[in-house]
Amino acid sequence: MMIMNCRSMVEFRAKMGIRWRKVSVQGQGGRRPDAVNRRHPMERPRDRDLQEVFRLIAASKNGLSKAEIVKKTHLRHLAVTDAVRTLVERGFIDITPHTHDELTMDDAVSIIQSRFCVIGLRILPSEVLGVVTNLRCEVLPIGVAGEELTAVKDLPDGGHDVEGVVQAVAELTQQLVDQIPEGYSVLGTGVELGGHIKSGTVVYSPNLQWRDVPLRQRLEEVLHRQLNAEQHARFGPRGSQVIIENDANALAVVSQWFGAGSERTSFALILVGDGIGCGLVINNELVRGFGGMAGEIGHLVIAPENPGLVCRCQKQGCLEAIATIPTILEAIVRAKKANGEDPPATIADAVKLAEKGDKLAEEAFEVAGDALARAISYLLNLVNPEALILETYEPMVTQRLVPIVTKRLRRYCFSTVQKDTDIPQNPAAPERGAKGAAAVMIMELLSQRLPAEQAGRTRHLADPERGL
Ligand SMILES: [Zn+2]
pLDDT digits 0-9 by tens, 432-441: 899 999 999 9
Name the phi and psi angles at 278, rounded to 5: -145, 125
- For 47-111, CATH number out of 1.10.10.10, 3.30.420.40, 3.40.1260.10, 1.10.260.40 equals 1.10.10.10
pLDDT recorded at residue 451? 55
pLDDT recorded at residue 9? 63
pLDDT tens digits, 381-390: 999 999 999 9
pLDDT of 457 over the 50 cut: no
pLDDT recorded at residue 204? 93
Tell me the pLDDT band of 257, cut-offs 50, 70 and 90. confident
* Distance in Å, CA 4 to ligand 1 centroid: 66
* Distance in Å, CA 311 to ligand 1 centroid: 5
CA distances from 111 to 57, 60, 94, 114, 338 (A): 7, 9, 6, 9, 59
Angstrom distance (rounded) from CA 143 to CA 464? 28
DSSP helix/strand/coil, 431: coil
pLDDT tens digits, 209-240: 999 999 999 999 999 999 999 999 999 888 89
Tell me the pLDDT band of 182, cut-offs 50, 70 and 90. confident
pLDDT of 323 over the 60 cut: yes
* Distance in Å, CA 331 to ligand 1 centroid: 17
Higher pLDDT, 216 or 24: 216
β-strand pairing of 64-65 with 93-96? unpaired
Ranking 65-74, 359-368, 418-427 by mean pLDDT, the lowest is 418-427
pLDDT of 380 over the 90 cut: yes
* Distance in Å, CA 170 to ligand 1 centroid: 30
Looking at domain 116-249+432-452, its CATH class is alpha beta
* Distance in Å, CA 456 to ligand 1 centroid: 47
pLDDT recorded at residue 29? 36
Angstrom distance (rounded) from CA 259 to CA 270? 14
Higher pLDDT, 114 or 23: 114
Region 351-371: mean pLDDT is: 96
The answer to whether the 47-111 and 263-420 domains have the same CATH topology is no
* Distance in Å, CA 313 to ligand 1 centroid: 4
Tell me the pLDDT band of 102, cut-offs 50, 70 and 90. low
pLDDT recorded at residue 453? 52
DSSP helix/strand/coil, 424: coil
β-strand pairing of 93-96 with 108-111? antiparallel
Tell me the pLDDT band of 32, cut-offs 50, 70 and 90. very low
* Distance in Å, CA 315 to ligand 1 centroid: 5
Tell me what the pLDDT averaged over the chain comes to.
85
Angstrom distance (rounded) from CA 125 to CA 108? 45
pLDDT of 241 over the 60 cut: yes
* Distance in Å, CA 327 to ligand 1 centroid: 13
pLDDT recorded at residue 300? 94
What residue type is assigned to position 73 of the chain?
T
Q: Look at the alpha carbons of 143, 144, 146, 147 in this order and tell me if their dihedral is positive or negative.
A: negative
Region 160-173: mean pLDDT is: 95
Angstrom distance (rounded) from CA 357 to CA 371? 21
Higher pLDDT, 26 or 231: 231
Tell me the pLDDT band of 66, cut-offs 50, 70 and 90. confident
Tell me the pLDDT band of 34, cut-offs 50, 70 and 90. very low
Share of the chain above pLDDT 90, in %: 58
- What are the domain boundaries of the chain? 47-111, 116-249+432-452, 263-420
* Distance in Å, CA 126 to ligand 1 centroid: 21
* Distance in Å, CA 282 to ligand 1 centroid: 25
* Distance in Å, CA 321 to ligand 1 centroid: 7
Region 7-25: mean pLDDT is: 61
What residue type is assigned to position 146 of the chain?
G
- Concatenating the DSSP letter of every residue in 36-55 gives HTPPPTTSPPPHHHHHHHHH
* Distance in Å, CA 289 to ligand 1 centroid: 18
* Distance in Å, CA 358 to ligand 1 centroid: 29
Angstrom distance (rounded) from CA 364 to CA 48? 42
* Distance in Å, CA 423 to ligand 1 centroid: 25
* Distance in Å, CA 367 to ligand 1 centroid: 17
pLDDT of 30 over the 50 cut: no
* Distance in Å, CA 455 to ligand 1 centroid: 47
| Chain mean position to CA 75 | 22
Looking at domain 263-420, its CATH class is alpha beta
Region 54-64: mean pLDDT is: 88
* Distance in Å, CA 125 to ligand 1 centroid: 18
* Distance in Å, CA 301 to ligand 1 centroid: 7
* Distance in Å, CA 317 to ligand 1 centroid: 7
* Distance in Å, CA 320 to ligand 1 centroid: 6
Answer for the pair 87, 56: CB distance below 8 angstroms, yes or no: no
pLDDT of 277 over the 60 cut: yes
Tell me the pLDDT band of 460, cut-offs 50, 70 and 90. very low
- Cβ-based neighbours of 426, under 8 Å, separated by 6 or more: 255, 259, 260, 261, 269, 389, 391
Angstrom distance (rounded) from CA 402 to CA 407? 9
